[in-house]
């Protein structure tokens, strides 16, 4: 039987000390994917990425819910490189390196993808934040680290108010963007693909008074049916990413879009490292995933 390793982090295991509050997302995602794999004669097995396991028994490695990697970035990347010498890693270490720093958004913007205005800074200090307010106007901006996910070290800053503490701001290089009123008003839209196949889409809504769309912060998700224009826009983003990286197809990709200041949808993130795949909104997710996985296996 073909054996595939689904890489996850220790803090996604509900019975372990220090488990994240959203550990259940691993259970939902892995449950849906492993069930579909079983039906196709493939064994999908979860392994904690930074703990010892016998990698030699696997025919491939899927970068899954490895959500503790930002503070251990060098170890994470070297681990993927090591595993890739044993069997293919999906998405590839090269794609991970391209996608792991949010500078990829600048490349997508340069390639013509619909984008959010962004100021790139070496540090989230008073000077760069003042530059952000001067460039974008308005009374709110959002500061994000170049490497991170789940709103880790991300801050909403209001003009004239004291800056958050250093522990709440990005550690080093960062990006600064205007606060988008469309996010609290209508949330974020995610379209999920496996290979070239569209799987499903959803709308993530922050709780009242917040702008973050992760379940950790009380956000909710509902299934969403994108129209042809929405799907074409997401596919355009994927096409641009493939042109930039030279990769023919990604095993998985999640295109996150929000309502931009011009009223159109713009790219918030292109997630091709370790996105949550929202199985509750995608009843056919497992079957679509297996077809793309089979293509990778040849």
State how far the Cα of 193 lies from the Cα of 201, in Å rounded to an integer. 9
pLDDT at 210: 80
- 84-98, 177-191, 283-297 — which is least confidently predicted? 177-191
**What are the φ/ψ torsions at residue 260 (nearest 5 degrees)?**
-80, 180
Q: How would you classify the pairing of strands 174-178 and 140-145?
A: antiparallel
State how far the Cα of 40 lies from the Cα of 34, in Å rounded to an integer. 10
State how far the Cα of 109 lies from the Cα of 115, in Å rounded to an integer. 6
In whole numbers, what is the pLDDT of the chain averaged over residues? 92
- 30-39, 161-170, 189-198, 270-279 — which is least confidently predicted? 161-170
pLDDT at 103: 93
What's the rounded mean pLDDT across residues 218-235?
94
Q: What is the dihedral of CA 54, 56, 60, 65, to 10 degrees?
A: 20
pLDDT at 286: 97
3-state secondary structure 48-78: ECCCCCCHHHCCEEEECCCCCCHHHHHHHHH
Q: What is the pTM of this model?
A: 0.91
What's the rounded mean pLDDT across residues 50-60?
97
Calculate the alpha carbon distances from 296 to 53, 88, 195, 200, 291 in Å: 23, 9, 9, 20, 9
Give 150's pLDDT tier (boundaries 50, 70, 90): low
- pLDDT at 49 > cutoff 70: yes
- Domains in the chain: ranges and CATH: 2-97 (3.40.50.20), 100-115+183-280 (3.30.470.20), 119-179 (3.30.1490.20)
Contacts 24+ apart (CB under 8 A), 121-128: 121/173, 121/174, 121/175, 121/176, 122/172, 122/173, 123/170, 123/172, 123/173, 123/174, 124/155, 124/169, 124/170, 124/174, 124/176, 126/163, 128/174, 128/176
- pLDDT at 36 > cutoff 70: yes
Half-sphere exposure (Cβ direction) of 26: Cα atoms closer than 13 Å: 24
Work out the number of other CB atoms within 10 angstroms of the CB of residue 57: 12
pLDDT at 157: 85
- pLDDT at 170 > cutoff 80: no
Contact 137, 109 (CB under 8 A): no
Give per-residue burial for 157-170: e unless 16+ CB within 10 Å, then b: beeeeeeeeeeebb
Work out the number of other CB atoms within 10 angstroms of the CB of residue 181: 13
- pLDDT at 119 > cutoff 70: yes
Residues 244-257: pLDDT tens digits?
Answer: 999 888 999 999 99
Query: Which residues touch 247 (CB under 8 Å, ≥6 apart)?
Result: 91, 92, 94, 95, 241
What's the rounded mean pLDDT across residues 27-45?
98
Give 152's pLDDT tier (boundaries 50, 70, 90): low
Give 112's pLDDT tier (boundaries 50, 70, 90): very high
Q: Dump the DSSP string for 250-278.
A: -S-EEEEEEE-TTSSEEEEEEE-SS----
């Amino acid at each position: 039987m073909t054996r595939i390793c689904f890489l996850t982090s220790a803090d996604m295991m509900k019975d372990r000390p220090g488990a994240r509050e959203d550990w259940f997302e691993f259970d939902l995602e892995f449950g849906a994917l492993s069930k579909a794999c079983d039906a196709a004669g493939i064994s999908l097995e979860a392994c904690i990425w930074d703990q010892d396991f016998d990698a030699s028994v696997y025919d491939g490695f899927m970068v899954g819910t490895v959500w503790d990697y930002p503070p251990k970035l060098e170890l994470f990347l070297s681990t993927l490189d090591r595993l890739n010498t044993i069997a293919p890693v999906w998405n590839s270490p090269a794609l991970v390196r391209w996608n792991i720093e949010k500078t990829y958004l600048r490349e997508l913007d340069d390639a013509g993808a619909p984008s959010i205005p962004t100021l790139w800074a070496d540090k989230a200090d008073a000077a760069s934040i003042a530059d952000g307010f001067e460039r974008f106007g308005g009374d709110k901006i959002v500061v994000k680290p170049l490497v991170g996910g789940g709103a880790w070290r991300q801050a909403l800053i209001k003009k004239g108010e004291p800056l958050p503490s250093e522990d709440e701001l990005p550690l080093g290089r960062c990006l600064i963007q205007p606060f988008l009123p469309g996010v609290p008003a209508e949330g974020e839209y995610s379209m999920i693909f496996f290979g070239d196949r569209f799987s499903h889409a959803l709308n993530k809504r922050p709780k009242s008074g917040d702008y973050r769309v992760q379940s950790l912060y009380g956000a909710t998700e509902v299934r969403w049916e994108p129209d042809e224009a929405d799907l074409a826009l997401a596919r355009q983003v994927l096409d641009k990413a493939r042109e930039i990286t030279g990769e023919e197809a990604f095993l998985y990709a999640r295109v996150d879009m929000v309502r931009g200041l011009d009223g159109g949808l713009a790219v918030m993130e292109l997630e091709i490292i370790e996105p949550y795949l929202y199985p509750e909104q995608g009843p056919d997710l497992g079957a679509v995933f297996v077809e793309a996985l089979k293509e990778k296996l040849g």
